[in-house]
Structure 1
């Protein structure tokens, strides 16, 4: 049987041959569709904003303007942040506000800072919190299950919500369950009850925040379970491919793409963002869309490089890039607000016959109208997931007829973007001549790969700042003594991959150190936590011949059994189990050392006794890698000189522990091999190696 759509297109070709154009009605006389819930970005899912906080001014404020400032750039309506759980969740770990049951701290990490900065620029922005991992103490039974004790977990989440309000004056509007993992009906209901008991009735639950294969399944449970239906305010899907299910629609709940996009932010990524912002509603009645991630502010060789709305991965230079998704999203965000109303399908929202889509939205007071049009071609708008079925888009002429409350509109402001296959010839968010409306009608000639906004608003603006400085390589030599930080801050440029590292003031004139805080395996999100020890990387995966040094000390209690420095470390994120490199481990209690070519310690270059060392005090580890040779020193004594030719030739520098537990690090140095040789020569000439000043003098730091 020939499908109706095929018949329609065939008849349409005949109509076109007679000189007619398609007519699309914008008509509110029969009522509106669903309320618009906003467009947002995610900071988290693995430390994706890690490098943003240490950008210099004014570049840091400029970047924040492009993301959050109304009528300037992306002008986002929602900021979704990770509730840190001390576990690896894609590109790194984010610190929990409660490393253990007796610990509670709201100075850790950078999500607090980011929420405050977003609110400064847009007091109306909505805040959404979601855990990816949980600290291990929430499941004393030792299972990978945060739901075993639902009141305990709900209380942990409530403390984070209250901490945001108490310490930062930030109101959390939405809260999720467990990112991309199975939801638990008992926990969801318990969380709602505990929120209400805590006076947090305004905090709405989004569930399940799961991949599209399983995410809409909660709709079936909601239809069967009135208590669950009362607990869940929004149904959140990840990467739904612009479609939903009949059960999801039957619930009557607002439907969100609570994580979407996740695509390299070149022109194709921009096309992906433009297409799904329209078609999530047109195809699936989805009224809120949130990008993973907000900003690519993590080392570009970690997983999902540049999957952000813009790029800021070079704080040492101040360089950043305003990418195409910023401006393609602005076509929606600058001319709508949460609470506007979508026009119904066929009455202001729908597909064009020859490809592309349109949505119309009206302000709650009925004074303003915005229409967003996109004609993204298949190859210019493929998202990373799910696969995009083939389709065609053609140039076309379309005619709109305004009916209802906007029938007498005389003029619409017009903004346009045109994607080509290179940045130089593409145009982004360019204001056009106002469009004149005659008797409620207007006609547009639509090219392929365009986004057009038509609006009664006069507030749009393509914001700009001065051109940022040019990009530079990570600076060498580099030394970090941790004295410049506040206690509990994460040191700049370090990208913790497992575990959680923060600045600790030892007091008594000893100064500040970087301490690894996690003492047991988290309720982990990805398999990286099976590594069972903490890792922290820094620098560049381009580094090959390199010198790395650190002073290390085990904790007085709940300590790790050892620590390491590393070079040429390749692979991070959830792939860390596959990391190769040169790792120099020291185990003070047994006075042994190990040199291995992979993080899992299955490839051993050398092991043996360390000789005399400070079991409970500070020890200095030095590692010099040149060509196929690696040389290691402990407290001024050469322990090994081994061949490493068969392993990766480049990668990060790093440090960490050999098991979960407390360990302190200080006086970290990474330098060129030439400087490293000078340091080693200087050390070997000094019998007393307890003072690090010779290294500082050699590097002129």
Structure 2
């Protein structure tokens, strides 16, 4: 600064001083926007904003919540002027097969036997209707029961869907929309036949959505009038930039879709974290109309009422993973949705001339304007989620619309916190129909002539684990219902009268044959309990109706898609008495830890199975007799479960999970290399993220003390990590904060440490024996430089 004073003329210094006094802005101001809200102008009809219960058991645990908290969650989702205020609810038509986070039961496991009380979707629709009688209901199948002949695109499936509509009617529910097969394209003749069958069965008012995949359905509708007449709504999935879980900065449809004239829906959208996904959610709504004429949008899923070890555990409008404690969390997605649904109703009209991009640029944000059928009320939704500076919009209201007081509501979606969620920020009185609004970056604003909006005040209790011991004999459950806390991953487990001469109620796998699936098959199994459970015994009575294998699960934790890809231990036993203790990994690999043969179980008789975890010791018993045991430290906590291999109708009774002692701790010690005398080492014993994982003479120091726990190798509070989540040969290994990433997972396999995400092995480059050599990953080749012995 001294040098500047010596060389700069006084008038320049004066100017600099003035600028410093005022303060230069951090970013240049965005261009101003003029929004004309003209009641004489119009656009397409708004069909509503909704969410999806389905695509795999994502509402399962909500049904088991305590009545008080259950009602609070439902209010936040459906009650008008309280929370998300949903206007559409899409429910899965169950098919006994996993469709992302679980398997939803069919109403007809076996042909001709219909159970209209199966599952929870009819209950959920009733709850939604009770809170908002105007909500529209939509049914869609992901899977279908295996008795259907001719595959999904068959007459049997049409008859099945009509039976499902009949069950809805028994529950006093009117279904407004019906789809085909989720994300599996379309069969033109099947849709034409479906329309005819619905009309003949008295469901002519049910509108068909085609095809719950992509916009190509509109191409076939343009060339086939019968198909065009059969479909009333053109529905595509994830039509915005980035697709499933994408950023939704821009959206698109096609000329054939737009020119058809029928409503265009994002009939599945979202796949976003309930908090961080809110900016993309609101962009998909506003930009969905501006870019693509999309008039209806359904977020997947409604709620993550699933166990936290399953995929998409924080995705939706809210999370509800702890029914025993009543704990839940309302996400930012709820308030982003409310910024639309509490200010415009289905049947309102978009005003195209009052919709666009702020300052004419996508980077500034977008806005849409809607008007009510009475020609008086109006609302404009504006989002600044991609903006970097404050900006101003000037409104001119005319054409018969209200020019009275304007009410402004706002939510800071880029930085979620309760204090800035759905806040009534100000009221503005227009002068001559005009007014201005200054908007900050990262927000969604609604400017409206309407009143009556509100923000719910119910609060959640604190979470706590499901206490052990836990037991359920199923006798208190009605036939045809699901057992408390059991979450089916494949197949369908329902309570039925006990077989084999046993009185009372038992749990039965109901799908007798393999379903028509939506994603890959697995054992028909169900999970229960708390992911924090560590040392415990699973006890269960089993009744094999026919020859086959039954199973108990323990320490089940992280699951990937498909559902067979899960970190868990299994005790499997056949009717012949052959048994296995096995572990599965998230890459789908199966590893036998112990096997043998005991007295045959046979069929038609009851037996008691037990699966025990205490520290690193795992044992299995049949009818009180231990048949096998093994030591393994791969997984130290997780849920319990039960299942069968195949699709038999075996039964289970007297489920109990009893506690062991303490909490399992991983063995800690050196990880020795196949290169003689060398160990896996934390270079310089550092606890700084980015420290290289290297090779060094085995020396017993803290830098070589590793714990292998839940698939990770940990030392100094850090995890062994693949740099930058790379997958190329030679990508270096380092230490980093443990974050659950796939690049921090390691699976022992034939003496190697394999990263399941890449399939590559932890490797000592070029068989080096030089101390300090940084390790990397490389294609597995069985070499000594890829051999590692874990602590035991």
1:64-122: per-residue Cα shift (whole Å, max 9, x none)? Answer: 11111111111100110000000100000000011121211111100011011111111
For the 8 Å contact 2:234–2:265, the answer to whether it is kept is yes
1:199 pairs with one of 199, 202, 212: 202
Distance in 1 (alpha carbons) for counterparts of 2:573 and 2:589 = 13
Instruction: Give the aligned partner of residue 647 of structure 2.
Output: 660
Determine if the alignment matches structure 1 residue 581 to structure 2 residue 588: no
Which of 1 and 2 has greater Rg? 2
1:288 to 296, 313, 324: 296
Task: Decide which of 568, 580, 583 is 1:594's aligned counterpart.
Answer: 580
**Aligned counterpart for 2:360 among listed residues 353, 358, 371:** 353
Distance 1:544 1:205 in 2: 49
Number of the residue aligned with 1:22: 33
Q: Pick closer, same or farther for the CA change 1:85–1:18 going to 2, 3 Å.
A: closer
Distance 2:324 2:309 in 1: 17
Looking at structure 2, the residues matched to 58 and 597 of structure 1 have their Cα atoms a distance apart, in angstroms, of 39
TM-score between both structures, scaled by the size of structure 2: 0.76
Counterpart Cα distance in 2 of 1:368 and 1:362 = 6
Aligned to 1:231: 230
Q: Residues 227-284 of structure 1: CA distance to partner in whole angstroms, max 9, x if unpaired?
A: 1111111111111112111221111121101111111112x21222222221111111
Instruction: Give, in whole Å, the separation in 2 of the partners of 1:317 and 1:56.
Output: 8
Q: What secondary structure does 1:603 align onto?
A: strand
Of 608, 614, 636, which aligns to 1:620?
Answer: 608
Match among 437, 443, 446 for residue 450 of structure 1: 443
Give 3-state SS (helix, strand or coil) of 1:156's partner.
helix
Q: CA deviation at 1:591?
A: 2.6
Alpha-carbon offset, residue 579 of structure 1: 2.5
TM-superposed CA distance for 1:351, in Å, is 4.1
8 A contact 1:352–1:358 mirrored in 2:
no
Within the candidate set 491, 497, 521, 1:505 is matched to 497
Say whether residues 1:304 and 2:321 are aligned partners.
Answer: no
Q: 1:226 to 1:18 in 2, by over 3 A?
A: closer
Q: Could you say if the C-alpha distance between residues 364 and 350 of structure 1 is closer, same or farther in structure 2, counting changes exceeding 3 Å?
A: farther
Matching of residues 208-219 of structure 1 within 5 Å: 208-210=211-213, 215-219=214-218
Selected match of 2:117 from 79, 82, 107: 107
Q: Distance in 2 between matches of 1:330 and 1:368?
A: 18
Distance 1:518 1:336 in 2: 44
Alpha carbons 2:534, 2:637 under 8 Å: kept: yes
CA separation of 1:560/1:308 partners in 2, compared to 1, >3 Å: closer, same or farther? Answer: farther
Deviations for 1:544-578, whole angstroms, at most 9, x for unmatched residues? 332111011023xxx46131111122444633232
| Greater shift in the superposed pair: 282-291 or 543-552 | 543-552
**Per-residue CA distance 1:180-217 (angstroms, 9 max, x = gap):** 1121111111111100111101100111111xxxx011
Q: Does 1:146 align with 2:152?
A: yes
In structure 2, the residue corresponding to 1:432 is in which secondary structure? strand
8 Å CA contact 2:92, 2:139 repeated in 1: yes
| Residues 402-441 of structure 1 deviation map (CA, whole Å, 9 limit, x = unaligned) | 12122x61211221222453526x5011113321111111
Contact 2:544 2:650 in 1 (8 A): yes
SS at match of 2:62: coil
Distance 2:33 2:216 in 1: 38
Report the CA distance shift for 1:444/1:285 in structure 2 as closer, same or farther (over 3 A). Answer: same
Residue-by-residue CA offset, 1:468-507 (whole Å, 9 max, x unaligned): 2101112211111112211111112111111100000238
Aligned counterparts of 2:450 and 2:508: Cα–Cα separation in 1: 52
For the 8 Å contact 1:158–1:195, the answer to whether it is kept is yes
Q: Which residue is 2:660 aligned to?
A: 673
The counterpart of 1:402, out of the listed 397, 403, 423, is: 397
Query: Is residue 478 of structure 1 aligned with residue 470 of structure 2?
Result: yes
> Which residue is equivalent to 1:543?
533
Q: Quick one: which of 412, 421, 424 aligns to 2:415? A: 421
Select the residue among 613, 618, 636 that pairs with 2:624: 636
Q: What SS does the corresponding residue of 1:115 show, helix, strand or coil?
A: helix
The 8 Å contact of residues 60 and 306 in structure 2, kept in 1 or not, is answered as yes
Q: Which residue of the partner structure matches residue 688 of structure 1?
A: none
1:175 alignment partner, one of 178, 187, 201: 178
Partner of 2:736: none
CA distance in 2 between partners of 1:418 and 1:480 (Å):
45
Paired with 2:491 and 2:29, the residues of 1 have a C-alpha distance of 69
Q: Which residues of structure 1 form unaligned runs of 5+?
A: 1-16, 378-391, 678-701
Q: Is the 8 A contact 2:582 2:593 kept in 1?
A: yes
Residue 336 of structure 1, aligned match among 344, 361, 364: 344
Alpha carbons 1:560, 1:663 under 8 Å: kept: no
* Cα distance in 1 for residues equivalent to 2:577 and 2:481: 32
CA distance in 2, matches of 1:32, 1:339: 12
Is residue 85 from structure 1 mapped to residue 78 from structure 2 by the alignment? no
The RMSD of aligned alpha carbons is 2.3
Question: Displacement of 1:542 after TM fit?
Answer: 3.3
Check whether the contact 1:28–1:347 (CA below 8 A) recurs between aligned residues: no
Deviations 1:443-477 (A, max 9, x none): 11111112111212111111222x22101112211
Q: Secondary structure at the match of 1:358?
A: strand
1:138 partner SS: coil
Identify the residue that residue 60 of structure 2 maps to in structure 1: 50
Summarize the Cα distance change of 1:330–1:187 in structure 2 as closer, same or farther, 3 Å threshold.
same
1:188 and 2:185 matched: no
Which stretch of structure 1 is more off in the superposition, 413-422 or 198-207? 413-422
The answer for the alignment partner of 1:164 in structure 2 is: 168
Q: Distance in 1 between matches of 2:130 and 2:538?
A: 40
Q: Decide whether the 8 Å contact of 2:29 with 2:389 is kept in 1.
A: no
Structure 2: which 5+ runs fail to align? 1-27, 241-250, 665-792
SS at match of 1:434: strand
CA 1:597–1:240: 2 relative to 1, 3 Å: same
SS in 1 for 2:320: strand
Aligned partner of residue 426 in structure 2, secondary structure: coil
- Contact 2:31/2:359, CA 8 A, preserved across alignment: no
TM-score between the two structures when normalised by the length of structure 1:
0.85
C-alpha separation in 1, matches of 2:611 and 2:54 = 33
Aligned residues of 1:91 and 1:572 also touching (Cα < 8 A) = no
Distance 2:613 2:141 in 1: 39
- SS of the equivalent of 1:305 reads coil
Q: In the aligned structure 1, how far is the partner of 2:365 from the partner of 2:260?
A: 28
Aligned-partner SS, 2:181 = coil
**Contact 1:494-1:537 at 8 Å conserved across structures:** yes
